[in-house]
Amino acid sequence: MSSGKKSSGDGRSLKVRVKTAKKRSVSSARWLERQLNDPYVAKAKREGYRSRAAYKLLELEQRFHLLKPGMAVIDLGAAPGGWTQVAVKRTRADAADGVRGKVVALDILPMDPVPGAQVLHLDFLADDAPAAIREALGGGADVVLSDMAPPASGQRETDHLRIMALVEAAAAFAAEVLKPGGAFVAKVWQGGTEAGLLAQLKRDYASVKHAKPPASRPESAEVYVVATGFRRGAK
């Protein structure tokens, strides 16, 4: 592996290149090289976010204005916590006084505590999950966030089907816990939301849009569906 970023002589940084080694595969070398050269990774470290994914939510928030002080927010598949950190700041869930929001973050993976959020080690697909989360929030949610994605199989069609199954489950969960007027944000694959789910979202929400925030890598197939204005009991 090359050590550090080289200088071009005129003050600019040149791209770090990572060589494969006996214990490093080509794919892991590419991942490491991408991380070393990713400005969002460096920015996350500087600004104290747990992952570069935080900037995806910040950019979606800048466009759609989803999070406000005092809101109740659920972050599905929250680990390692970058989206949770953003939700806490925007809702003032960590504030000492004044208007304070509530943030519940859950994942089946262990996750370090986030000041201002309640972290649950929980599968949102469990039958008792909606009730447990309502209890943690003290009521319904204003926003349900999901940056979940299944492990990549390398097969585009398979990966698309897997992530859509997750999105459908997250959308059904959101319909159980959202307050009227609430919002649902979830990662989908390029090509957008499947017709059946998109039709359901359009029945359940006043507005449904797709967006690819700048922090999403250009080569990534991910986009986000942003549904706002939840209509409980819509047909």
Active-site amino acid positions: 187
- CB of 144 closer than 8 Å to CB of 184: yes
Residues 181 and 158: their CA atoms lie apart, in Å, by 34
198: left (phi over 0), alpha (psi -120 to 50) or beta: alpha
* Token pair listed for 153: 């199989």
Asked whether 4 and 16 are in contact (CB, 8 A), the reply is yes
- The DSSP code for 4 is S
Distance between start and end Cα atoms, the chain = 57
